[in-house]
Chain A
Amino acid sequence: MSSLTRISLAVVIVSFSTVALHAQATDRVQRESGIDSGQITAVTPLGVRISKGGVTSKIPAEEIESIQYAEEPPELNSVRTQYRRGRYDTAAERLQKIDRTKVTRPEVIQDLDFYTAACNSNLALAGKGDLKKSINEIGSFLSGQRTSYHVPAAIELHGDLYRAAGDLDLARKKYETLAKAPSPYYKSRSALLIAQLLQEQGNHTEALAQFEGSLLAAGTNTLADGMKKEATLGRAVSLAATDKVGEGITVIRQVIQQTPLNDTEALAQGYNALGDCLLAAGNKRGAREAFLHVDLLFNVSSSEHAKALARLTDLWKTLRQPTRAQDAQQRLSDEYPLSRWAR
């Protein structure tokens, strides 16, 4: 059992036990730093207000991993768990089993709407659903549930859907919308997504500026550490693609060397970026070895592993190793059938 699965299961067990204890009375906000319990008094796209013992505090949207509402249907929490694990089909199935007629609390309805649209969207992104339909569905959510704290996530998904549908201008517009939030986190996130979009289009010069903008906006916000690393690595890949291979590789090497050896997800991101960099430089064998690091050693993060397998599938083909290519392709399909890399 992978360490991530163990952690997730632990969370689930804790969650179930707490639901049992507080199901009737308390709302619970899951943050990276822990759980805040109390009464949710207000929900906006920028966050929620929670009141406990007469003390009200604000929790920004970017800090919220999930909210478990009092009196919500018991199946909803398992939907969230499946969603977090990337099991969108299972999550969607469980959502269908929930009797919505019995749900009255607006925040819970918002959650149900969001997860329904988000599951369908992610399935569509993995090639298992209709992109256009999902674009409309997310659009409906955004217009119908304007106060949900899921709005930033929905906007990002909207952008992802347009991106997958090939409408890159609209995708960019959606990502740009994120920057309108009065939060450095979302400004940084917006720049990062735009940079990745540009990178995908091969516009590395502009991508570089966006990556740098993302890093600048993130500042010293520790919540944005992961994003900063992503931006740093993304920037390095674009540097490599703009004839600054040496600089790009140096940056990535530094990132990898500074990453603790037990942070396998970050190492996977680093080696994948290194692989992209080396690919941009035409060094196929070097790229193959970088992606193999992810495949053979740092394969805990599903998205990074899926990416590495996708890259390896192509590389093995280029290197005239059809059996190895087939093996990588097969594992990608078997292990990450819903990943966008498996499309």
Chain B
Amino acid sequence: MPRDSRAHAGSLHECAVLYLSSLLAERSKVGWKLCAYLVVWVIVVTTSVAWGQDKKAPEADIPTRFLEKLRERGWNDVAIDYLEQAEDDPLTTQEFLADRDYHLAVTRAAMARQAVGENERQNLLQQAVEGFQKFAKEHSGSPQYISALSQVGNMLTEQALATLNKADRLPKEATAEQESLRASARENIEQAAAAVNQLLTSIDDQLSQLPRGAELQADKGAAALKQDLLAKQAEGRFLAANLKFEISRAYPIDAPERELALDTAAASFAKLRKDYENKLVGFYAVLYEGRCYQAAGELNKALKTFGELVNQPVGQADFRKLVSRAYRYRAECYLAEGEYYKAIEECSEWLNQASSDELKQPEWLAVEYQLATAYSAKASKDPGGEDASRLRTDARKLFREVTRHPSEFQDDARTALALSGNEDSSQVEVTGFADAFSAGKAALERMSSAQMAVNLAKDNNPEGVADIEDQVSASRQQAIDYLQQALPFIDEKISQDDAAAARYYLCWLYWDTGKSQQAAELGQLITDEHAETQYAPTAARVALGAYERLYLEAKQANAPDADVYADKLRSIAELIIERWNDTEAATNATELLISLAIQKNEFNEADRLLNELPEESRGAAGLSLGGSLWSQYLQKASKSPNQTIAQIEGLKNRAGKLLSAGYEAFAKSSDVTTAQAAAVLYYVQFLLASGDSAKAIEVLENPSIGPLSVIKRGGKDEKGRAFALEASKAALRSYVSVDPPRTDDAIAMMEQLEKITGDSPQASKQLTGIYVTLGLQLQDQIKQLTAAGEKAKAAGVAAAFSSLLERVAQRGDSKSWAVQNWLAQTSLQLGSGLSGKDADRYLSQAEDAYRKILAEIGKDPSFAPNELAALAVRKKLGETLQARGKFALAVEEYAKILQEKPNMLELQQDTAAALQAWGNVAKDQKTLEKSIHGMTPQANGKNLIWGWLQIAVVSDAAKRQALHPRGDTPPNQDSADKFQELYFAARYHVVETRFQAAKLSDVESRTKQLEAVRQNINALKQLYPDLGGADWQAKFEALLKEVNVLLKEAGK
């Protein structure tokens, strides 16, 4: 492909890709600025020996030859694979392996230049720079050393210029971002300068070691080397001076650093022109010296300096280009001073001398653009003047000419035409591919120019914006129409690049206009049929994006073709991974596959894919997978409570590890997506479930990605509300359960929760439900702390929890049966877990709560869901009273229940226990006796409260009944076991209570009672030698031992 058309296509292509979200930053102007820099570089370099490409060794080794062949074919991807595994090649050499980093960097640089996406290009460039730097650091003696340093210098400069151009494109208001970009560019330039200085030092060293005089003349090799080194030195010095010039752009226009940089650069170029007088390097130094003055606003000095070039006799083609550039800069100076006629005069004169070929070259197109601008400016200065119309016509003619050929000013010229509103958009008669493709590209260019013009018009001509936007739409539609007409003409006669380009532009336009199906199909076609073109990777990404869009739409609509799109999505993602496996696109595709696998619950597959991602890219996907596994864990834990811990613990741990790693990878990010924010919240939940409240708070409060920060800047929609609700719940729990609890924050979080849920009755109910659930979680935590002997911590959590309880108690819907019971129950449990005043505070709350419930039942029996529920409340009140030491009242409550349900064995047991505890506390033998024999005789002669003995009798009978049921009922061993357990418990309590009573008795009575206890235990042993099993046996034996000690003391 001729250079011009390729550059044209490239420019258009970049232009088209521009609109693909973050795929690419604009290149047109930027590209030409870079090109201008590189052109100078190449010209300077060609005055001597090209560096960066040392003379090829006459007999390169096999691996080097293989690598060269791969590069010749453009198979840089294979070259990278090969280099990474080069030691596996049987014919590899130590020398080749030693230079591996260099070769990798060269290959990555080549890949960067092939890359279409700006992000990918920059990533690859960065990797290449790092590779060259590493190589230069570790191989200072290598023949590739100087080459590596020059690559570093060039590439960093290139990166810096790209960054500066990006900064220039930002709106004026974005000063902070501009400064950040400029700082980054300065850093790159300084690094580049360091590399160039290192290179110049190395060259100086090598030159100083060469022989001199006659000895050098005699040594042809040394003489050639000297020439080579001197040429490289000239190049290095030019680059060093140019870096000083370029760094001036990295400062604001009025910064003193900028002025200083320009002064220094001008001085450096002045020295260069002197040192290389009458050589092309020297003349270029003159041009750049003039540019320094121009940039510094010293226009007269600049004009004079450029004038030195303009006045040179011209002839040689390269020199004419240099002179043309001088004319262009002189015109810029004149235009800046408002001296349009001078600009018009000089530019016209120079252009009149140009050949028709030259007029299409960038250096002359730049002069044409300046002339057009001068015409336009002159016309604007005197709009009513007699020449104004002619000047405008001439300007448009020239602008149009500039748009026809690739140059730095092509886009500016298009924009100027778009702003003039006189773009030629007349219909083209399509007779074949060439017409249609050309017309399509032209329409696309007009669209691009109009889009740029829209941005300009927003500042300068707001009322014209709507018209220009109409131009954008019209041009877009024309581009689609022409490209659609072009496609059917594609056959083997059409070049691969043109066919791919036509398809790609249309593919992108489809994507841009929301025609996902067409975009996906065309993207897929390009990927399959034009795999080797530069369009293939980006087309694949468009196809990926389009299929993802289609899939999500189908899924949302529950459409049956969602699975079809999922398959297509998977297929294109796999292709991207396979074919461009080291790229950002492959990482995105893998993430997408992981997400698909997660959606299908294929967690092992997702895990496998995750491990295939580059380590640095696993954060987001790991977070996502971890979140899904956590969600699955929660589902399993709630739906299958019988599932053993081991079965789901693995799931929990894996989720935790992924969430933790994902969070750490993202902890310093500035932002997260909604899905990532949700996964971070899952991580908080995991931490809370693992008891790590402190870490949970750290994550919650992470200023960038913490859920609490996300809430602050989050959306107000339903999803945003749901997230805020869950995050606030987690925060509340964290603040309450952290050691020490953060009560103020907990209260603030409750207020936030109330704000989020609103004040409708339904919302209020929801909030109460939240508190109740939270209370249950905290109860578990308090229990665990208490069981672990960490009573102080348990008390701390309980104290913080009390705020929650009070909050619930104050709520309007707290009168409901469930909430009342929860409040009472929670208070009772909290009190039971504590001791002393801490305990009584909660027990008192519990007693009040139970009494309140009973009062409600008294007023309205239907308040309780059923009779048993009401009895259960009374029982709980009894337990509460008993816990508070109000035994009489407790027994009274129990008795009230027993009046109605005398055979409630469990309640009889509680009552006997209450009596026993009461007797012990009161040191009252009679009460102890009642716990053994019962109390409150009834009309039938039986006691209402049975006491332990009767409980034992009933239990024994019930056990026998369970083992030998009447009729056809089968024996129930479980039931029998339960009653046997109760029987031995009751029997034990009998002897224990007797023993306690004995200790309260006088000596004589005590001995009798103790003997009775011993006899009782021995009799039981005769009946049941194992005494009901190991546990009870140990208890009985321990008691017997105590009895025997006391009897021995008593001489028995």
Chain A contacts to B: CB under 8 angstroms: 252-253, 256-257, 261, 267, 270, 274, 285-286, 288-289, 292-293, 296-297, 319-324
Contact = CB atoms under 8 A, between A and B. Distances in A.
Interface stretch (B33-41, B86-94, B381-389, B846-854): B86-94
B70 A292 contact: yes
A319 B574 CA distance: 10
A296 B578 contact: no
A319 B90 contact: no
Given A257-B90, A270-B90, A319-B579, 7 more contacts: A256-B91, A267-B91, A289-B85, A296-B69, A296-B73, A323-B529, A324-B532
B575 A297 contact: no
Contact of B78 (A253, A288, A322): A288
A313 to B, nearest CB: 14
Interface size range of chain B in the complex: 20 to 34
B574 A286 contact: no
Contact of B89 (A261, A285, A289, A296): A289
Contact of B62 (A261, A286, A323): A261
A-B CB proximity, top 9 nearest = A323-B531, A256-B90, A296-B69, A253-B90, A320-B578, A323-B532, A320-B575, A320-B579, A289-B82
B65 interface: yes
A322 B530 CA distance: 9
B817 interface: no
Contacts of A267: 91
Given A286-B85, A293-B66, A296-B69, A321 B531 contact: yes
B531 A322 contact: yes
* Most chain B C-beta atoms within 10 Å of own C-beta, residue among A252, A257, A319: A319
Please indicate which of the listed interface residues A252, A270, A285 has the most CB atoms of chain B within 10 Å of its own CB.
A285
B75 to A, nearest CB: 8
A328 to B, nearest CB: 11
A274 B92 CA distance: 14
A257 B93 CA distance: 11
A321 B527 CA distance: 9
A296 B579 contact: no
A289 B81 contact: yes
B543 to A, nearest CB: 13
Contact of A320 (B85, B529, B532, B574): B574
Contacts of B532: 323-324
B974 interface: no
A36 B741 CA distance: 105
Contacts of A257: 90-91
Interface in B60-105: 62, 65-66, 69-70, 73, 75, 78, 81-82, 85, 88-91
Contact of A296 (B70, B91, B528, B531): B70
A153 B958 CA distance: 100
A64 B81 CA distance: 46
Contacts of B69: 292, 296-297
B775 to A, nearest CB: 56
A14 to B, nearest CB: 31
A192 B91 CA distance: 27
A285 B531 contact: no
A257 B88 CA distance: 12
A240 to B, nearest CB: 14
B521 to A, nearest CB: 16
A334 to B, nearest CB: 16
Contacts of B88: 286
Contacts of A289: 78, 81-82, 85, 89
Contacts of A288: 78
Contact of A274 (B90, B529, B579): B90
Contacts of B81: 285, 289
Contacts of A286: 85, 88
A286 B87 CA distance: 11
Contacts of A323: 529-532
Main secondary structure of the interface of B (DSSP, over half): helix
Contacts of B578: 319-320
24 contacts: A253-B90, A256-B91, A261-B91, A267-B91, A274-B90, A285-B85, A288-B78, A289-B82, A289-B85, A293-B62, A293-B89, A297-B65, A297-B66, A319-B579, A320-B574, A320-B575, A321-B531, A322-B528, A322-B531, A323-B529, A323-B530, A323-B532, A324-B531, A324-B532
Contacts of A321: 531, 579
Interface string B857-894: 00000000000000000000000000000000000000
Contacts of A261: 62, 91
A212 to B, nearest CB: 22
A324 B528 CA distance: 11
Contacts of A270: 90
B62 A297 contact: yes
A261 B90 CA distance: 12
Contacts of B73: 296
Nearest to B576: A320
Contacts of B82: 289
Nearest to A252: B90
B496 to A, nearest CB: 9
A270 B531 CA distance: 30
B66 A292 contact: yes
Nearest to B536: A323
B68 to A, nearest CB: 9
Nearest to A327: B532
A261 B530 CA distance: 37
Nearest to A253: B90
B608 to A, nearest CB: 15
Nearest to B65: A297
A292 B90 contact: no
A321 B528 CA distance: 8
A271 to B, nearest CB: 8
A325 B81 CA distance: 18
Contacts of B90: 252-253, 256-257, 270, 274
Contacts of B574: 320
B140 to A, nearest CB: 31
Of A252, A296, A319, most B-chain CB atoms within 10 Å? A296
Contacts of A285: 81, 85
A324 B536 CA distance: 13
Nearest to A271: B90
Interface-centre pick from A256, A270, A286, A321 (highest chain B CB count, 10 A): A321
Nearest to A278: B88
Given A319-B579, A321-B579, A322-B531, A292 B62 contact: no
A218 B262 CA distance: 80
Contacts of B65: 297
Give the one of A267, A285, A320, A322 with max B CB within 10 A.
Answer: A320
A261 B65 CA distance: 13
A293 B531 CA distance: 22
A40 to B, nearest CB: 45
A321 B65 CA distance: 23
A8 B88 CA distance: 35
A321 B78 CA distance: 11
Nearest to B579: A320
A325 B23 CA distance: 28
A270 B62 CA distance: 14
Nearest to B528: A322
Interface string B532-572: 10000000000000000000000000000000000000000
Contacts of B85: 285-286, 289
Nearest to A261: B62
A341 B443 CA distance: 49
Contacts of A292: 66, 69-70, 78
A267 B90 CA distance: 10
A285 to B, nearest CB: 5
A324 B65 CA distance: 20
Contacts of B75: 324
B504 to A, nearest CB: 15
A296 B574 CA distance: 28
Nearest to A320: B578
Contacts of A324: 75, 531-532
B343 to A, nearest CB: 50
